[in-house]
Amino acid sequence: MAQQEKRPYTIVLGVIGFDCHSVGNKILDAYFTEQGFKVINLGVMVSQDDFISAAIESAADAILVSSLYGHGEIDCDGLRGRCIERGIGDIILWVGGNLVVGKKDFTEVEAKFRAMGFDRVFPPDTDLDKTVQELIEDIEKRRQKKAEEKH
Amino acid sequence: MAQQEKRPYTIVLGVIGFDCHSVGNKILDAYFTEQGFKVINLGVMVSQDDFISAAIESAADAILVSSLYGHGEIDCDGLRGRCIERGIGDIILWVGGNLVVGKKDFTEVEAKFRAMGFDRVFPPDTDLDKTVQELIEDIEKRRQKKAEEKH
Amino acid sequence: MIDRKMSREQFETQRKEVLQSWPTGAEVDFDAAIALQRSIPKEKNFAHAMIQAEREGRTLLQPRAGVALVDEHIRLLKYLETEGEADLLPTTIDAYTRQNRYTEAAKGIEKSQAAGTSLLNGFPAVNHGVAECRRVTEAVSKPVQVRHGTPDARLLAEITLAAEFTAFEGGGISYNIPYAKNVPLRSSIQYWKYVDRLVGLYEEAGVRINREPFGPLTGTLVPPCVSHAVAILEGLLALEQGVVSLTLGYGQCGNLVQDVAAIISLRNLAQAYFSEAGFENVELTTVFHQWMGGFPEDEAKAFGVISWGSVAGRLAGATKIIVKSPHEAMGIPTKEANAQGLRTSRQIVNMLSDQGMLDSQAVQREVALILRETRAILEGAFALSSGRDPEEAAVRAFEAGIIDVPFAPSNQNQGKILPMRDNEGFVRIFKAGALPLPQDVLDFHRERLEDRAKAEGRIVSLRMVTDDIYAIGKGRLVGRPQ
Amino acid sequence: MIDRKMSREQFETQRKEVLQSWPTGAEVDFDAAIALQRSIPKEKNFAHAMIQAEREGRTLLQPRAGVALVDEHIRLLKYLETEGEADLLPTTIDAYTRQNRYTEAAKGIEKSQAAGTSLLNGFPAVNHGVAECRRVTEAVSKPVQVRHGTPDARLLAEITLAAEFTAFEGGGISYNIPYAKNVPLRSSIQYWKYVDRLVGLYEEAGVRINREPFGPLTGTLVPPCVSHAVAILEGLLALEQGVVSLTLGYGQCGNLVQDVAAIISLRNLAQAYFSEAGFENVELTTVFHQWMGGFPEDEAKAFGVISWGSVAGRLAGATKIIVKSPHEAMGIPTKEANAQGLRTSRQIVNMLSDQGMLDSQAVQREVALILRETRAILEGAFALSSGRDPEEAAVRAFEAGIIDVPFAPSNQNQGKILPMRDNEGFVRIFKAGALPLPQDVLDFHRERLEDRAKAEGRIVSLRMVTDDIYAIGKGRLVGRPQ
């Protein structure tokens, strides 16, 4: 148990669909690496299955999906379902970026993506220093729950 | 009668109240003079009574009131009544400029100033080449009416 | 150096009269005012903010704003401070107060209370009085300046300075010629001597108040040499009465090279003339006014004009920029629009703040031209006075048309000169009236205008002047035929 | 001069395959397309509009825009033409089409029809086919360009050029490295050889189509020498296939001197390299992209960024400017916001059009620097090829990191270089990777960065790069510590 807690927080990063916006992805990678996370960065143009395969292989705590080009609504649809099918239904799923086409009220966008099964939804100007704490908390909660389930 | 029609169109120009915006006034003066009008230009900071006295003295066809500083609503109130009291109740009264404080829907502003007794109400970006025709028509109509009343 | 300070006795005699001219004058207690002013934290003192920015090479942003009622005005300023990110706050005074028509202003206050919205185009500070005005300055955290257009602002100055305002715009020339119809220039200069002396008395008591002659004058194609000549004379008049913190201004003409050259030459002239007159410890700063003429009605286009003003003001290295709003074409802006103009300007000034000032051979050439022109006018004016007295020089120069402001309403101004843009949009002189410019300079202006006329296939004419006045409102700089 | 034109036989073999890759390919009839293109009035031809503007010293404005459905797209373009006063129109292609995922694009069309709003980030021209695309070009009165980001745009080019589009953006390098993950550079260059040859065939039939390599690449602090090297190589590749109307591009870095110098040096380099390679009759024009990085969310601040882009583009004398909207931070703009960005830019460009280009010693110094840098990179690249073959040079230079684009997603790019702003906001090179820059140039960059680090009291580090990337979005040019 003590050993398990020392395992580094492992996250899978990537830009979903046919989106090739690479700048934010490179910055997320550098940031979380600097914060001590183990980062599996799949880069741009990542399919749903690639995210899931990488998460399974690395026993990741969370998948952080980015979408900047406006097709997020199409690309993200069904991701949680696919996670359940492939046996990691409880994985932490975050999504952030310019998730829909055009200027929309963020609370609507958030509601839509939460309904799709994402645990947290972020606008493009998210402050990473705040977010990292939430991620650690989410991961700790999930690990604890998993640990409790084992007992 | 023929002689009377040859009388130049006579207009009184001025900026009402305590408004000292002089640029537009100078341009109106130059423009109407160029168009062959007899222009009595009272300049800036003109009181209601000054307008009326000048109109009586010059037997003017019309008074063109400008207001650029937003106090038009206070300054113009009662001008038509004062014209009636002093015996030129039928004079053509035009007003134009930035008539109220702040950005307001022009149709509301127009209704307000027409209710005060102005025959026409103009926004600040009025095209003079169009306006001059309306002024000639208004003056001709008034002169004809006056001529008919005499017979 | 001739001491032209108004004597304390003369000042106190006038003061009695001034403070009795409207009931709120009785609220002024100079000693209490000094004590209060001394207690203001440094960062709320306007003079301090200006000289700090100048020293650090920063450009500050200030809006114009004023409404009829105190609480509404406080809300407005607080909004501009938080949502507008303004560095400096204004309190723009209404047009009745500017003409000392306090009775009309009182009516405006009443009507505004009844209407639930401001029917005055500014804040009637005299009617509100010292205690109410103090509520304004104490409600905000940024320095506040009084901005108006008042030929006789003596009571306004007494009341607002007693109410912890730390800066006062205007001057005996710049708040007469563009703002009055028939106030004798000699009178307005006397009134402003009083204001400057009052500021001098605060200074002597250890309180630095910023003074700012109104640079743009009529704001309509004013050639830099004309507004610079007025700025230097008003600067001298202020310094003579003991003013130390002085901000000289200029209104954007629209051609970048000319605008940058104007600010450079204004600083240069001020330093030379002030030093020559024996004033060595001046805290000299500059203000650049975004385009003061007609604006496009379309807000997107207005944002373009606002941005261009911020670019020019910053590349010229002005200490502060006075900011317009996207509602400019429609008159007085809402607080939201005012804050938008500020934020657009903020983005521009911030992005440019890391970059150097603009310098080029064209700028240097234009600086040399403005220096020659302004010196010719000022020397022409001083030649009419004895002992280089700026008051006498100003009065006689205006009488003779040696200083002549285009499109001014005042009968104290000859109104013989006419400006016009050349083919690159520089404001040049079409009719020089009695401006004592050297013949080769006049020839240069004429040549440039002929170049433009040729490019447009028409002859140099009054029509071109009118076209220029409306050009920016219609989306261009030079008023070309369609 | 080595003739590197793709043979007609080779072209026709590929063509058969290309046109069969999706059902709408069958709609392409080249002879009919030529006839139609010839019937287009001059003023609707993109190449004509560009060269006319270049000759008259005007700067044209063009937005980006594209939605899923044809009628909605027509409404959008007509709005940008009338309310936005655009000189040139775009048709931005959706991201699925860019990856040749026509099945996904079809799903996007369906979902958009169902949702009553576009769920695609552009116009899926291949799915709509020739006849439907022609409805777009025929509904508007301005020239229309295809803008996208497609490594293999052969079918897209066939369909849109047959549908009377008269300009086609992209290139084998600029539409691969920033837009794909693992498409071999050699493949994308081959695909684009086909597109350029197609344009050459139109040219030979008397129809001039404008081609525009994508200048900004990743749009993120790309040093001018890097994007210029790519632009020159892609320009040569296009000219070799018979292209005549060529527009080279550059994305605003934000420092005025650098941006003006970039456009000047780009023209200079293009003329020199094209002429050296034997291409004398090129219709060379330039495009300046308003800031391509992160924008402020606040629309007023976004207007400031847009205006600054227009100022720089115009003072640099670019032939056209690609315009952003105040919604930029939020993704794809509404048509109203898009038109606002255009009108703000219009006001700026119009006001500046009478004024000269910016020139100063600082600009000249920076031009000289960019020329040396770009020549060093290009000569380094050509040294890896035989006979100065731009294709071979490009492929080997990317392999070797001699050309290296910062922050690019492609695995064809070494990604070893890191740019950073210096103390005045010039984009300089922090990590040069294998860029073959002379040592004194590298030293100069380093010195400038050390100056900045000193001013900020920190050491030159990756953190500064990240700060710079977000700086404009946060309201500044240089990402300084708070």
Instruction: Give residue-wise pLDDT tens across range C102-137.
Output: 999 999 999 999 999 999 999 999 999 999 999 999
- D120 with A71: Cβ contact below 8 A: yes
- Indicate the pLDDT class of residue D469, thresholds 50, 70 and 90: very high
Instruction: Give residue-wise pLDDT tens across range C143-198.
Output: 999 999 999 999 999 999 999 999 999 999 999 999 999 999 999 999 999 999 99
Whether there are 3 or more C-beta pairs closer than 8 Å between A and C is no
Instruction: Give residue-wise pLDDT tens across range C443-459.
Output: 999 999 999 999 999 99
Residue D358 pLDDT > 90, yes or no?
no
Instruction: Give residue-wise pLDDT tens across range C54-89.
Output: 999 999 999 999 999 999 999 999 999 999 999 999
SS3 readout for chain C: CCCCCCCHHHHHHHHHHHHHCCHHHHHCCHHHHHHHHHHCCHHHCHHHHHHHHHHHCCCEEECCCCCCCHHHHHHHHHHHHHCCCCCCEEEECCHHHHCCCHHHHHHHHHHHHHHCCCCCCCCCHHHHHHHHHHHHHHHCCCCEEEECCCCCCHHHHHHHHHCCCCEEECCCCCCCCCCCCCCCHHHHHHHHHHHHHHHHHHHHCCCCCEEECCCCCCCCCCCHHHHHHHHHHHHHHHHHCCCCEEEEEEECCCCHHHHHHHHHHHHHHHHHHHHHCCCCCCEEEEEEECCCCCCCCCHHHHHHHHHHHHHHHHHCCCCEEECCCCCHHHCCCCHHHHHHHHHHHHHHHHHHHCCCCCCCHHHHHHHHHHHHHHHHHHHHHHCCCCCCCHHHHHHHHHHHCCCCCCCCCCCCCCCCCEEEECCCCCEEEEECCCCCCCHHHHHHHHHHHHHHHHHHCCCCCHHHHHHHHHHHHHCCCCCCCC
C344 closest CB neighbour out of D304, D361, D362: D304
Residues in chain B within 8 Å Cβ distance of C94 = 71
The CA distance from C358 to the nearest CA of chain B, in Å, is 32
How far is D168 from A28, CA to CA, in rounded Å? 34
In a domain, B4, yes or no: no
- C95 with B71: Cβ contact below 8 A: yes
Residues in chain C within 8 Å Cβ distance of B71 = 94-96, 108, 119-121
Instruction: Give residue-wise pLDDT tens across range D283-341.
Output: 999 999 999 999 999 999 999 999 999 999 999 999 999 999 999 988 889 999 999 99
- Segment 132-151 of chain A within 8 Å of chain D by CB: none
What total number of domains does chain B contain? 1
- Residue list, annotated binding site of D: 64, 66, 98, 121, 147-148, 169, 175, 178-179, 295, 324, 328, 332
The confidence score (pLDDT) of residue B40 equals 97
Q: What is the mean pLDDT of residues B53-69?
A: 96
* Residue found by looking up tokens 């704001």 in the block: C219
| A13 neighbors A32 (Cβ within 8 angstroms) | yes
Q: What is the mean pLDDT of residues A9-32?
A: 93
In a domain, B80, yes or no: yes
Residue C464 pLDDT > 70, yes or no?
yes
Instruction: Give residue-wise pLDDT tens across range A87-119.
Output: 999 999 999 998 887 778 899 999 999 999 999
Angle at D69 between CA D68 and CA D70, to 5 degrees: 130
Chain D residues at the A interface, defined by Cβ less than 8 Å, are 94-96, 98-99, 101, 104, 107-108, 111, 117-121, 149, 178-181, 218, 220, 294, 297, 327, 329-334, 337, 407-409, 462, 466, 469, 473
- Residue list, annotated binding site of B: 21, 66-68, 98-102
The confidence score (pLDDT) of residue A1 equals 37
How far is D341 from C303, CA to CA, in rounded Å? 10
**Residue of chain A minimizing CA distance to D222:** A23
- A74 with D329: Cβ contact below 8 A: no
- Total residue length of chain D: 482
Phi (first) and psi of residue D354, to 5 degrees: -80, -15
Chain A neighbours, 3+ Cβ pairs < 8 A: D
Residues whose CB is less than 8 angstroms from the CB of residue D157 and which lie 6 or more positions away in sequence, other chains included: D146, D168, D194, D195, D198, D199
A20 closest CB neighbour out of D108, D179, D334: D179
The confidence score (pLDDT) of residue B5 equals 52
| A92 neighbors A62 (Cβ within 8 angstroms) | yes
ipTM of the prediction = 0.91
Residue D202 pLDDT > 90, yes or no?
yes
Q: Is position C148 annotated in a ligand binding site?
A: yes
- D304 with C343: Cβ contact below 8 A: yes
- Indicate the pLDDT class of residue D74, thresholds 50, 70 and 90: very high
How far is D476 from D230, CA to CA, in rounded Å? 29
In a domain, B5, yes or no: no
The CA distance from D305 to the nearest CA of chain A, in Å, is 17
| Percent of residues, chain A, with pLDDT higher than 90 | 73
Residues whose CB is less than 8 angstroms from the CB of residue B133 and which lie 6 or more positions away in sequence, other chains included: none
Boundaries of every domain in chain D: 8-352, 416-482
Residue D14 pLDDT > 50, yes or no?
yes
**Residue of chain D minimizing CA distance to C295:** D347
Helical H runs in D178-298? 185-204, 224-240, 256-276
Residue C434 pLDDT > 80, yes or no?
yes
- A18 with D332: Cβ contact below 8 A: no
Q: Which amino acid is at B124?
A: P
Residues in chain A within 8 Å Cβ distance of D99 = 18, 45
How far is A104 from A122, CA to CA, in rounded Å? 13
CA contacts within 13 A on the Cβ side of D270 = 29
Specify the CATH number for the domain of residue B15. 3.40.50.280
The domains spanning D8-352 and D416-482 adopt the same CATH topology: no
Other CB atoms within 10 A of residue B149 CB? 8
Residues in chain A within 8 Å Cβ distance of D334 = 102-103
D475 closest CB neighbour out of C304, C347, C425: C347
Whether there are 3 or more C-beta pairs closer than 8 Å between A and D is yes
D354 closest CB neighbour out of C348, C360, C478: C478
Whether there are 3 or more C-beta pairs closer than 8 Å between D and B is no
D407 to each of D177, D250, D286, D374, D404, how far by Cα in Å? 10, 17, 24, 19, 9
In a domain, A145, yes or no: yes
C115, C159, C285, C342: CA torsion to nearest 10: -20
How far is D40 from D30, CA to CA, in rounded Å? 16
How far is D206 from A150, CA to CA, in rounded Å? 76
Q: Which of C136-140, C353-357, D440-444 has the lowest mean pLDDT?
A: C353-357
Test mutation, A21, A42, A101, chain D, max D CBs within 10 A: A101
Residues of A annotated as catalytic (active site), given as ranges: 19, 21
SS3 readout for B42-104: CCCCECHHHHHHHHHHHCCCEEEEEECCCCHHHHHCCHHHHHHHCCCCCCEEEEEECCCCCCC
The confidence score (pLDDT) of residue A5 equals 52
C408 closest CB neighbour out of B22, B27, B74: B22
The confidence score (pLDDT) of residue D467 equals 92
- A101 with D118: Cβ contact below 8 A: yes
Query: How high is the mean pLDDT of chain D?
Result: 97
How far is D332 from A104, CA to CA, in rounded Å? 10
- Indicate the pLDDT class of residue B150, thresholds 50, 70 and 90: confident
- Segment 59-98 of chain B within 8 Å of chain C by CB: 68-71, 73-74, 98
Size of interface A-D (CB pairs under 8 A): 91
Nearest partner of D105 among D115, D114, D95, D113, judged by Cα = D95
- Contact of B30 with chain C, judged by CB distance below 8 Å, is answered with yes
The confidence score (pLDDT) of residue B2 equals 40
Instruction: Give residue-wise pLDDT tens across range A41-82.
Output: 999 999 999 999 999 999 999 999 999 998 898 899 999 999
Residues of B annotated as catalytic (active site), given as ranges: 19, 21
How far is D317 from B6, CA to CA, in rounded Å? 56
Q: Which of B14-23, B97-106, C265-274, D58-67 has the lowest mean pLDDT?
A: B97-106
Residue C433 pLDDT > 80, yes or no?
yes
- Indicate the pLDDT class of residue D125, thresholds 50, 70 and 90: very high
In a domain, A98, yes or no: yes
- C346 with D304: Cβ contact below 8 A: yes
Q: What is the mean pLDDT of residues C275-282?
A: 96
Residue C23 pLDDT > 80, yes or no?
yes
In a domain, A3, yes or no: no
D347 closest CB neighbour out of C304, C353, C362: C304
- DSSP code, position D42: G
Nearest partner of D54 among D350, D353, D317, judged by Cα = D317
- Indicate the pLDDT class of residue A6, thresholds 50, 70 and 90: low
Whole-model pTM: value is 0.94
| Percent of residues, chain C, with pLDDT higher than 90 | 97
Test mutation, A19, A26, A73, chain D, max D CBs within 10 A: A26
SS3 content of chain A, % helix, strand, coil (to 5): 50, 20, 35
- B101 with C118: Cβ contact below 8 A: yes
- Which helix or strand (DSSP H or E) is residue B39 part of? strand B38-41
For residue C299 the two structure tokens come to 């807000």
* Residue found by looking up tokens 């006689």 in the block: C396
The CA distance from A44 to the nearest CA of chain D, in Å, is 6
The confidence score (pLDDT) of residue B3 equals 42
* Residue found by looking up tokens 């090297």 in the block: D229
The CA distance from D360 to the nearest CA of chain A, in Å, is 34
Whether C169 is catalytic: yes
D10 to each of B139, D6, D7, D16, D34, how far by Cα in Å? 80, 7, 5, 10, 20
Domain topology for D8-352: TIM Barrel (3.20.20)
Chain B neighbours, 3+ Cβ pairs < 8 A: C
Point out the catalytic residue in the list C98, C208, C421, C448. Answer: C98
In a domain, B1, yes or no: no
Other CB atoms within 10 A of residue C346 CB? 25
How far is D329 from B127, CA to CA, in rounded Å? 39
Residue A3 pLDDT > 50, yes or no?
no
Residue C342 pLDDT > 90, yes or no?
yes
- C179 with B20: Cβ contact below 8 A: yes
User: What residue numbers bound the domain in which B50 lies?
Assistant: 10-149
- Residue list, annotated binding site of D for adenosylcob(III)alamin: 66, 121, 178, 295, 324, 328, 332
How far is C91 from C67, CA to CA, in rounded Å? 9
In a domain, B29, yes or no: yes
Query: How high is the mean pLDDT of chain A?
Result: 91
How does DSSP assign D147-160, residue by residue? E---SS-HHHHHHH
CATH number (3.90.970.10, 1.25.40.10, 3.40.50.1100, 3.40.50.1950) of C416-482 reads: 3.90.970.10
